[in-house]
Structure 1
Amino acid sequence: VLAHDGVMATLAWFMAYWFRFNLDTIPEPFYGHAVKFLPLVIVVHLGMFGLFGVPRGAWRFTSVHDLVVIVKAVFFGTAVIAVAIFLATRLEAIPRSVFPLHGVFLVGMLVGARILYRLYRDREVSRTPGKRVLIVGAGAAGDMLVREMKAAKPRIYQPVGFLDDDTNKKGRDIQGIRVLDNCSKIPSLSKLLRVELVLLAMPSASAEQMRRVVELCDQSDVPYRTLPKVQDILDGTARSQDLRRVSLDDLLGREPVSLDEERIRKRIADKRVLITGGGGSIGSELCRQVARLNPREIVLLEQTEFSLYSIALEITEEFPDITLHARLGDVCDEPGVVDVFLAHQPEVVFHAAAYKPVPSLQEQVRETIRNNVLGTEIVSRVARKHACETFALISTDKAVNPASVMGASKRLAEMLIQAQNSLSSTSFITVRFGNVLGSAGSVVPLFEKQIYEGGPVTVTDPQVTRYFMTLSEACQLILQASVLGQGSEIFVLEMGEPVKVDYLARQLIRMSGLIPGRDIDIVYTGLRPGEKLDEELFHYDEKLAETTHDKIRLAESRSVDPEKIKEGIEKLIEASRKADSLAMNEILKHLVPEYKTEQPFDEMQQLA
């Protein structure tokens, strides 16, 4: 590039003289002075080109910006040359018109050469088969991706350039493809280069980086795809060319969980494990993960027959050597629960059975308290009497400063488990976390259904936020927490940063190939009874402590009076027998003083 620009400066210098003398021979002494000062002209212009960054501009993608840079470099270079020659000669035998003519010719020649090259390359590329793609990420993954694109027969993709936020990479060639600029130029370059697809070659990118790039891709109105995650490529479950849609996992940034597998296996292997709510989202995933740890038996207790049948069929097919007992039953049925313990003698219990959807449960006060509190009391008491080793309650962030019946019932369940621990050799622990992507009752399946039906997508409030994690990660950390606990602890899973539900809805719409507000409307319905704008993972009276696992924290639990809990449970049982939802809610509020609800009790009684 420098050699070319030096030649252009030479030609422009002599052309200026030639035009000054009406396209005739340059007479002496003018010709001699032109030759004498030629080295100065070349050195000054090349210096200015380097100073203004002219060589860094990619000829293949010459734009108005490059034209402006060239004009500035030539203008200042010509000015320096004119001043230097004036000081040396007082412009004797140097026509003054040579300087502006030289500048005009040099700009024209530099810009013209670049435009002609771009037109030539565009013509060549237009003849090359394949979809025009812009690659975001000029690292090893991008390099490998281009190699595979070029080797593919027939050619499916035609890379037109790289973008990368590493300024040191700008201007480099990777497999013959130029690194053009940073990621902020995705919208403008997509239009300029007639890009048909943006490929995100950033398998190690953080969630924040992915969200930023995806938002820029959305602005370009060009489809985008991403590479598989690094772990999937290393595991051999995916290849680098296996392009896929950007998933919520990418945007929420849930990193792979590192587990103390030896301790977990020691806790589960050759043990009889009971999972209540075994047909639900969390219960069934716990069953899958426990089955990999070689338990002696798995016992599933589930009240929905189809859910129980589905997970039992899946486990027996995938793990034919596992002894699985699928028991249809209700955790509120004490004789049935006792029968399960007598028949199978479980040593480890994961209590995942619970009613969860806040809006509907707000209208079902009696059943919510009966299942979430009284059911927990029955299972934990029977587990204590049968001297189980470990009992893990699956709780929720809605138990912190609850505003709903469901949240308050789960907080009381946490307190109940603490009380049980003080009466037994069994290690009773609680594991608390936020929303699980894709679980039954979560917003994601609802949004997907609404998008499939053409909208609108309903969001309660544009400012509402929630914590999210994947189902697999939640269950992995539940297993990890079960080996950390000694008894009475409340373990809180690290949930990352809260995510706006409105953002989640918009991304799901975009990932479906649609535009929010244009193809699918978003309607704000307002917060429903029992819902909060933001959820919390800790109560202000709970002291936070680190554990040996970086994704599990300890909420040093508040003191619990076992006698008060026992007395309250007896009152709830009596009110439940009378189907007195109002009394049950008042007892719940007494036992959980932080429980606040704006819904009148008489209205809740009418709904229940």
Structure 2
Amino acid sequence: MSIGRGPASGKTASSDKVLWLWSQFLLDSFAWIVSIVLAVFLRYEMVLDPSKIPGIIVLCAIAIASQFAVGSAFALYKGRYSFGSFHEAKLLVIVTVAVSAITTVALLFFGISMGIARGTGIIAFPFACLFMAAIRYLKRMYVESKAKPGEEAARTLIYGAGFVGKSIVTRMCNDPQSPWLPVGLIDDDPAKKHLRIVSVPVLGRMEDLPEIVARTNATVLLIAIADIDAKQVRRISDAVAGLNIKVLVVPPLKDMLTGGSDFSFREVAIEDLIGRQPVDIHVDEIAHYVKGKRVLITGAGGSIGSELCRQINEFEPRELIMLDRDETGLQSTQISITGQGLLNGKDTVLADIRDAAALEEIFLDRKPEVVFHAAALKHVSLLEQYPEEAWKTNIMGTLNVLQAARLADVQTFVNISTDKAANPTTVLGHSKRVAEKITAWLAQQTGLKYVSVRFGNVLGSRGSVLPLFNEQIRNGGPVTVTDADATRFFMTIPEACQLVIQAGAIGRGGEVLILDMGEPVRILDVAQRMIAMSGKEIDIVFTGLRPGEKLHEELIGIGEDDSRPLHPKISHASIDALDPHQMSLEEWKNRQHLPLASNEPESAK
């Protein structure tokens, strides 16, 4: 949508509007003249006596003056109502009835002297109303034909002819800058078979999609159904397979209503396909322990850490301290919370969790009461090549944060772990398992609520399968999958952060809390459906499992209990504590790839 460049453009637009309103009045006046002449012609058996012409002229003058007076009184010519809208049509009928009444009253008193029958005004009324409506309809058709997107716009099918679908089609057809040109609607409701929305017809049902795509040459399918379930999305995915049509999903209705002309549609996300319903945690009922407290979050610039900052901020902590070594990530998080990224306040702290002295100074100075530890290295392949980095960050870095928290008398500490720590087979898994164990050890030493939280793959987080597949598809492929049978657990970033917050409320010192994430999902199925939704022909290449990588992930390790005392979807597992003074890098490196029974220091068993 263009914006006027100055006073001149504003004056031009205002002049055009005034000109159109006056031209509309002139057209309405012409409609009355034609209607009155036609009424006289019909009233006198289709014979027009020249002697009646003066009376016709006087009656037309009365009608035109009345139209102007009544129309002005009801703001018909002041641009108050949308042109061609229902409200304008209703007002037009009211004004026409009023004008007809005035002309009829005039004829009752002066009809004999004018030589015009007293019922002429009543006869003219339906014709005047019809002609005025027809003029407006033709004008609206002209405006809409000029406002439609150009031929370069993507030919788009809309799935769903309900309220959302109607709103989108109307908006597309009235925006010449729209990149989408609606060519048809699809709806499974038989009652909508012959429906048309702004001249766009309902062409059929979902099973007719292949034939409809071929007939319309559509390249985009837009799902315009609010809160569509995953089963229906999968059905659509199967229907478009091989049709080379891109599938998009509408944003929430509130975004469409408040997004101005810039709202857009998103591509289908994994959560739309896998059908896992987020666990209803009701975190707002148990997050009282952060309200009015000083809360510190490590890794605040990462995917989990930044969302955690946003959610914690909603619970009105006394102070939110965001710590990270990535200054760009910190700035992005600050912008998402405060709307500005000046990085000049005390809410952002630039530090590395490997620096024990710096952490102790920060903790003793800021005195946090609640700590969420999200900082970590998490890429499996890189850590397999550089295990010492996992030791320095995931183990010693966690120990540094724990010791600083102990010095500052932190009352609640939540360590964010991973499902790879259950029966670990990779450097990442082993390092996070040790982090869980030293967290449990410090909980024993302090008697405070120091807990860990373990969950699976987080949809949309950096390094997860979703952005990887999206980027590979965007670049034309191939999409890489480790193994055709590989499965993983999935959860959303907000859901993961809700679990983290809840862990600080219901966890007992030394426990690992684990969310029931439902059934695991086959990675190949996700890749195939994402490719189908993209409308592209993309190859899938199997790369094989990486060293130590599992075919199927686990959430609960061997020997860990699965008690659920407080929430039916959250397990509380007790793990053995590990005294960090008995750890050494060499021993950890030497033992991490041995069988599970001997893959940890003796003190960890």
Q: TM-score, normalised by structure 1?
A: 0.63
AA aligned to 1:405 is: V
Q: Secondary structure at the match of 1:490?
A: strand
Instruction: Name the structure 2 match of 1:533.
Output: 551
Q: Distance in 1 between matches of 2:549 and 2:563?
A: 28
Contact 1:170 1:180 in 2 (8 A): no
Instruction: Name the structure 2 match of 1:163.
Output: 187
| C-alpha distance after superposition, 1:530-588 (max 9, x if no partner) | 211221223364444557667xx32231452x4xx21xx3232xx33x69832676699
Instruction: Name the structure 2 match of 1:103.
Output: none
Q: Distance in 2 between matches of 1:146 and 1:305?
A: 43
AA aligned to 1:534 is: H
Q: Which moved more, 1:168-177 or 1:216-225?
A: 168-177
AA aligned to 1:480 is: Q
Question: How far 1:395 moved relative to its partner?
Answer: 0.9
Q: Secondary structure at the match of 1:220?
A: coil
Question: How far 1:348 moved relative to its partner?
Answer: 0.4
Q: Which moved more, 1:135-144 or 1:210-219?
A: 135-144
Instruction: Name the structure 2 match of 1:442.
Output: 464
Which residue of the other structure, out of 570, 577, 586, is the alignment partner of 1:554?
A: 570
Contact 1:429 1:482 in 2 (8 A): yes
Q: Secondary structure at the match of 1:528?
A: coil
Q: Secondary structure at the match of 1:581?
A: helix
1:581 matches 2:605:
no
| C-alpha distance after superposition, 1:462-521 (max 9, x if no partner) | 22222233333322332233233343343223545433333444455555553113xxxx
Question: How far 1:282 moved relative to its partner?
Answer: 1.8
**Structure 1 residues 149 and 446: alpha-carbon distance in aligned structure 2, compared to 1, 3 A threshold:** closer
Q: Secondary structure at the match of 1:440?
A: coil
1:246 matches 2:268:
yes
**Structure 1 residues 287 and 514: alpha-carbon distance in aligned structure 2, compared to 1, 3 A threshold:** same
Matches within 5 A, 1:319-468: 324-468=346-490
Instruction: Name the structure 2 match of 1:189.
Output: 212
1:274 matches 2:274:
no
- Pairwise CA RMSD of aligned residues? 4.1
AA aligned to 1:465 is: T
Q: Secondary structure at the match of 2:297?
A: strand
Instruction: Name the structure 1 match of 2:321.
Output: 299
Contact 1:134 1:160 in 2 (8 A): yes
AA aligned to 1:162 is: I
**Structure 1 residues 183 and 537: alpha-carbon distance in aligned structure 2, compared to 1, 3 A threshold:** farther
| C-alpha distance after superposition, 1:54-106 (max 9, x if no partner) | xxxxxxxxxxxxxxxxxxxxxxxxxxxxxxxxxxxxxxxxxxxxxxxxxxxxx
Which residue of the other structure, out of 146, 164, 183, is the alignment partner of 1:141?
A: 164
| C-alpha distance after superposition, 1:208-267 (max 9, x if no partner) | 321220231233223333322356558x45899954433334334566786646445532
Matches within 5 A, 1:65-84: none
Contact 2:324 2:352 in 1 (8 A): yes
Contact 1:163 1:183 in 2 (8 A): yes
Question: How far 1:200 moved relative to its partner?
Answer: 1.6
**Structure 1 residues 546 and 240: alpha-carbon distance in aligned structure 2, compared to 1, 3 A threshold:** farther
Structure 1 segments unaligned to the other structure (5+ residues)? 1-125, 595-608
Q: TM-score, normalised by structure 2?
A: 0.63
**Structure 1 residues 439 and 484: alpha-carbon distance in aligned structure 2, compared to 1, 3 A threshold:** same
AA aligned to 1:571 is: Q
Q: Secondary structure at the match of 1:362?
A: helix
AA aligned to 1:216 is: A
Q: Secondary structure at the match of 1:557?
A: strand
Q: Distance in 1 between matches of 2:174 and 2:339?
A: 40
AA aligned to 2:582 is: K
Instruction: Name the structure 2 match of 1:570.
Output: 581
Which residue of the other structure, out of 481, 484, 500, is the alignment partner of 1:478?
A: 500
Q: Distance in 1 between matches of 2:499 and 2:256?
A: 24
Matches within 5 A, 1:251-262: 251-253=273-275, 260=282, 262=284
Contact 1:439 1:471 in 2 (8 A): yes
1:207 matches 2:218:
no
Structure 2 segments unaligned to the other structure (5+ residues)? 1-144
**Structure 1 residues 583 and 398: alpha-carbon distance in aligned structure 2, compared to 1, 3 A threshold:** closer
Question: How far 1:355 moved relative to its partner?
Answer: 1.6
Aligned residues: 452
**Structure 1 residues 523 and 272: alpha-carbon distance in aligned structure 2, compared to 1, 3 A threshold:** same
